[in-house]
């Protein structure tokens, strides 16, 4: 899974995560600088089987509309999150400190978890620390009415790093993807670590 990080605004980095492979995906980066910051043996995306992990989602509110229907209603985003014609998310971008990106890789917080939820088998892809993924205050959006892919998100009412309350809808922080669609989000791709760090 390609997870990139490059200079953005002063004091922060811009990252993008390609949630699924496309014809246009580049081959794994050979110029990434991540090995200068993280030991090679820690650069991985672990695959974990935990049938009970899905129970964490039972404590979260499932939003009424789909992810797209709720946009500008219950949340806003830093950058546009790309979706395909059916409403399934393909890529998202966000800002964060460089130290967070490096530490998420070092702690192997990007991971794929096979679990059960709502009487069905799912793969959960995590994009932050585990305590942020399983926070009961998170909310869940379904991508489509098929209810086979869901987004786990934290809705934040304050500007990052300050106590200034945002005007309008809260900001969405993408925490995890819950997918029963291995055809759209292949496990082999999700578990392939392609951490593209470019500080130039």
Q: Are 79 and 89 in contact (CB under 8 A)?
A: no
pLDDT in tens, 95-107: 888 899 999 999 9
Question: What pLDDT was estimated at residue 27?
Answer: 59
Confidence label for 132 from pLDDT (cuts 50, 70 and 90):
very high
The tokens 């793969």 sit on which residue? 123
Q: Which residues of 160-194 are buried (b: 16+ CB within 10 A; e: fewer)?
A: eeeeeeeeebbbbbbbbbbbbbeebbbeebbbebb
Which of the two residues, 99 and 164, has the higher pLDDT score? 99
Residue 117 pairs in a beta bridge with: 120
pLDDT of 137 > 90? The answer is yes
Query: Which one is predicted more confidently, 178 or 158?
Result: 178
Q: Is the pTM of this model over 0.85?
A: yes
Q: How far apart are the C-alpha atoms of 145 and 55, rounded to whole Å?
A: 21
108 φψ region: left (φ > 0), alpha (ψ -120 to 50), beta (else): left
The pLDDT tens digits for 108-121 are 999 999 999 999 99
Within 8 A by CB and 6+ apart from 94, the residues are: 14, 15, 78, 79, 173, 174
Q: How far apart are CA 106 and CA 99, in angstroms?
A: 10
Q: SS in 3 state form for 145-162? A: CCCCEEEEEEEECECCCC
Of the candidates 117, 88, 67, the residue with the CA atom closest to the CA atom of residue 19: 88
For CA atoms 64, 67, 69, 71, the dihedral sign is: positive
């Amino acid at each position: 899974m390609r997870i990139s990080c490059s200079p953005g605004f002063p004091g922060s980095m811009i990252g993008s995560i390609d949630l699924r492979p496309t014809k246009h995906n580049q081959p794994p980066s050979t110029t990434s600088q991540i090995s200068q910051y993280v030991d090679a043996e820690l650069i991985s995306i672990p695959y974990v089987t935990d049938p009970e992990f899905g129970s964490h989602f039972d404590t979260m509110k499932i939003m009424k509309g789909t992810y797209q229907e709720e946009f500008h209603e219950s949340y806003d985003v830093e950058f546009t999150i790309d979706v395909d014609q059916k409403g399934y998310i393909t890529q998202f971008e966000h800002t964060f400190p460089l130290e967070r990106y490096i530490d998420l890789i070092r702690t192997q917080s990007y991971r794929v978890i096979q679990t059960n939820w709502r009487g069905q088998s799912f793969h959960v892809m995590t994009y932050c620390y585990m305590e942020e993924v399983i926070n009961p205050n998170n909310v869940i959006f379904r991508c489509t009415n098929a209810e086979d892919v869901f987004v786990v998100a934290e809705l934040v009412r304050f500007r990052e790093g300050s106590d200034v309350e945002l005007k309008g809808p809260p900001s969405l922080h993408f925490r995890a993807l819950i997918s029963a669609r291995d055809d759209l989000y292949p496990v082999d791709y999700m578990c392939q670590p392609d951490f593209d760090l470019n500080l130039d």
